[in-house]
Structure 1
């Protein structure tokens, strides 16, 4: 059963402007430690790729926060929600701390997709209640 659906479109130029104003502080606010490491690696090779990485993570976390119905209120925080990827490259939601506890206590699961183009990053998230298996 669907618990919630969220979508977000993010202007990459706005993320770039925020990064130019606030530097690494902006990235630290949005990204988990694992994401921050990936962001630094991508930014070192190609700065624009780093900006797009920030934009896709920002967008995906916004979509997730909408799907769970909390927006950016506790226990939902930028850093407790991580957008990881499976070996196949498929994006996945990885939760930490109180947000993970809140999510698991409701028996939820999430699917997320992200995409970016020159000026925009977009994400879509579906959160479902896990089906109860009958014996």
Structure 2
């Protein structure tokens, strides 16, 4: 039996909002939002091209917002910015990676999570679909 959809979340964000937050708070903002692997990617991309770094941060911010909507938590425990990362599989596809205690909470309630990200020079969007948990 195919998995059913348990939740859907979407977030649309102006890149300028992230630029302003970075201007006000510097890397502290990025470190608050990004998990460790995401932060390393952000620094690498920003080093090559500052605009690319900002768009990376913006897409990850949007992914976390979309994920929190899909699971119905918003930004409240056990959800927090750094506990959900949108990383890339070897082929480039974005994947959801969760840290504790969000991981255990999520796995007790849901199946696979799928994330799609897109960016343009002034906007980014993230779409998350969460499947129902399969019972053995």
Which has the larger displacement, 102-111 or 7-16?
A: 102-111
1:32-111 maps to which residues of 2 (within 5 A)? 32-111=35-114
> 2: CA distance between counterparts of 1:89 and 1:62?
21
SS for the counterpart of 1:74 is: coil
Instruction: Calculate the aligned-residue CA RMSD, in Å.
Output: 0.9
Per the alignment, in what secondary structure is the counterpart of residue 41 of structure 1?
A: helix
Q: Contact 2:7 / 2:131 at 8 angstroms: preserved in 1?
A: yes
TM-score (norm 1): 0.95
Runs of 4 or more, structure 1, over 2 Å off, are 130-133
Shift of 1:5: 0.4
TM-score (norm 2): 0.95
SS of 1:89's partner is coil
- Aligned residues between the structures: 133
Gapped regions of structure 2 (runs ≥ 5): none
Structure 2 SS opposite 1:19 = helix
